[in-house]
Structure formats: C-alpha cells, structure tokens
Amino acid sequence: MPKIVDHKARRAELVEASWKVIETEGLDGLTMRKVASAAGCTTGRITHYFPDREALVLAALRAANEAAKARTTALLAKDLPPRARLQKCVEEGLPLDKQRQREWKVWIAFWTAAASDPQLARENAIQTEAWVDALAALIADVAPGCDAGHEARILMGAINGIGLLTAISPTKQNRAGAVETLALHVEGLIARGGSD
C-alpha cells in the first residue's frame, strides 16, 4: 500500500526549517542545502514542494504573515469593546513572545531584502496595505473624528519601529515599554478622534 503523505504538513515543516535558517543566518544565508539540513531531509524533497529558493523564500514570508493574521483574526472575533480591540490588535503586532519574536526576525530579514528585490517589495506592500486597512477599520470605530487611513499609517510606522527595537533587544523591560508606549499612542489617537 502506498504511503499517505500530508503535503500541507510537509510544506509547513520545510517553511519552519527555513525560518530556523533565517533566524540564525539571515536571508542571505538561506540555501536549499541549509534548509534540508535543518529539516533533516534531502534537497530533492524541498524542490518537490518549492521549485527554487525564491519560492521557498516567499512561502516563508507568507507563513509568517498568515500566522500573525490568524492570531489577529481570532482576537477580533472576541467580543471586546472597540478600544480594547484596537489595543489588543496593536499588541498582537509586537514581538512579545517567542513565536512573534521569530516572526519578527523573519520580517526584518525580508524588509532588508525587499529594498533591492522587487518581488519581495511587492509582497511586502500587499501585506502592509492589508494591515493598514485592518488598523484603519479599528481606528474608525474608536476615533471617528480623525482620518483613519492616515492614523493607521502612523500607527503602523510606530508598531514597526518599536517592534524592530524590541525584536533586536527583547528584554522584559523593552517588551513592557513597547506595550506602554503604543498604549499611550492609542489613547492619544482616541482623544484626538473624539470617541471612547
């Protein structure tokens, strides 16, 4: 009887292995051979699922984005007041635990590469717009008197900047400071937007 293979699980294992390589060696250090070593398989298995390095790179980025999106979607499905929904969504975007710190290391590597890679830049732009749109919808609920799209871009910049600093130095103090700083920003936004 032929062996049943869960192709989705295999792809996920290879993406996980690529994250391990990116975490330790950056995107420049990502090779099919290193991913194969991290996954405990042959490069042939990788090329069965990903025809080339670029396909694996995009899959790794998309997996980080999808993991964050799934957590945020679950958070937004909870019955929370609008202010708490926005604050929790902002906190979800920060590298406050081991999983999100890993995702941030992947994102940092991709942002650096996207500066000179048009395909990665396009992928980043798509994901950024999706996050900005989600934040704008949440902002419109708590601060109807402001330009939600503009404020969402400012908030996204703050999350990215503070998140970057926290990812580079994820001490307990820095993580707490990141949450506090962005909570103050959200409170100021609500005060300017004229709603509770």
pLDDT of residue 5: 74
**Domain assignment of residue 174, yes or no:** yes
Taking all residues of the chain, what is their mean pLDDT, rounded to a whole number? 93
Degrees, nearest 5: CA angle 48-61-24 = 90
**Domain assignment of residue 84, yes or no:** yes
CATH classification at residue 162: 1.10.357.10
**Overall number of domains in the chain:** 1
**Domain assignment of residue 145, yes or no:** yes
Helix residue ranges per DSSP H, the chain: 7-25, 32-39, 43-49, 53-76, 82-92, 98-114, 118-142, 148-168, 172-193
Number of CB atoms found within 10 A of residue 177's CB: 14
**Domain assignment of residue 75, yes or no:** yes
Q: Does residue 193 carry a pLDDT above 90?
A: no
**Domain assignment of residue 97, yes or no:** yes
- The domain in which residue 79 lies consists of 61-193
pLDDT of residue 1: 67
Where does the pLDDT of residue 195 fall: very low under 50, low under 70, confident under 90, or very high at 90 and above?
A: low
Where does the pLDDT of residue 178 fall: very low under 50, low under 70, confident under 90, or very high at 90 and above?
A: very high
pLDDT digits (tens, 9 = 90+) for 49-108: 999 999 999 999 999 999 999 999 999 899 999 999 999 999 999 999 999 999 999 999
Distance CA 53, CA 160 (A): 27
**Domain assignment of residue 172, yes or no:** yes
**Domain assignment of residue 8, yes or no:** no
* Mean pLDDT in residue range 112-116: 92
**Domain assignment of residue 22, yes or no:** no
